[in-house]
Copies of this chain bind each other. A is one copy, B any other.
Amino acid sequence: MNVLVVGANGQIGKHLVSFLQNKDGLKAKAMIRKPEQSADFEKIGAETVLIDLEGEIEPIAKAAKDVDAIVFTAGSGPHTGKDKTIMVDLDGAVKTIEAAKMAGVKRFVMISSFDTSREAIQSASASFAPYVAAKHYADDWLRRTELDYTIIHPGGLTNEKGTGHVKAAEEVERGQIPREDVASVIVACLENEKTIGKEFQLVSGTTPIKEAIAAL
């Protein structure tokens, strides 16, 4: 299974590409924005493709032509301007979804935010609300497609080492989770077709990842 990782140079993306390259039957195609980001991926044998997520849909669709699944884990990040929130977290996600359709790629894994409901938009702080809204509309767009999607709603992301153990369900108590464990969960979703059409909240827990995902 060849997986296009959109946002490969992000912190979850880097773990994910590495995991995919180290698993039999899986490989990554890392979608990156800058040429200087390619070296680390080439070192581990991952193909890279240079595309600006703020550009046209067609190059993304072209990059998706030879893959079996797409993972959207790009994010504008907290240090970019607020205008990037709508252009990357919403419009970039929608363009990737449309590219999947154009390329005939059915499998799509979306890394969303912990709670992207209407209530979450309304209760978010003024500075966080635009991000929640962007993710709300991106998730909504994906749900309305015929794609084989999985939407992952991780809790607060940390850079701690992964534990390999999580709690995953439609609703879980708010908590944190290492980015490395989120990447492992993405791999587990790609390897388990039972996650198609599902979405779940995800925090650190006591259940081995494969088992937690199988129980969804």
Contact = CB atoms under 8 A, between A and B. Distances in A.
A85 B91 CA distance: 13
A134 interface: yes
A152 interface: no
15 contacts: A81-B82, A82-B82, A82-B85, A83-B85, A83-B126, A83-B127, A83-B130, A85-B86, A86-B86, A86-B90, A86-B133, A87-B133, A90-B133, A91-B133, A137-B137
Question: What secondary structure prevails in chain A residues at the interface with B?
Answer: helix
Contact of A90 (B81, B87, B118, B137): B137
B56 A130 contact: no
Contact of A57 (B91, B118, B126, B129): B118
A134 to B, nearest CB: 6
Number of chain copies forming the complex: 2
Given A82-B85, A86-B90, 5 more contacts: A55-B122, A57-B118, A83-B129, A87-B129, A87-B133
B130 A86 contact: yes
Interface in A68-106: 81-83, 85-87, 90-91
Interface in A99-135: 118, 121-122, 126-127, 129-130, 133-134
Nearest to A91: B133
Contacts of A127: 83
Interface residues of A, number: 22
B56 A91 contact: no
A121 B91 contact: yes
Contacts of A130: 83, 86-87
A81 B85 CA distance: 12
Contact of A134 (B55, B56, B86, B121): B86
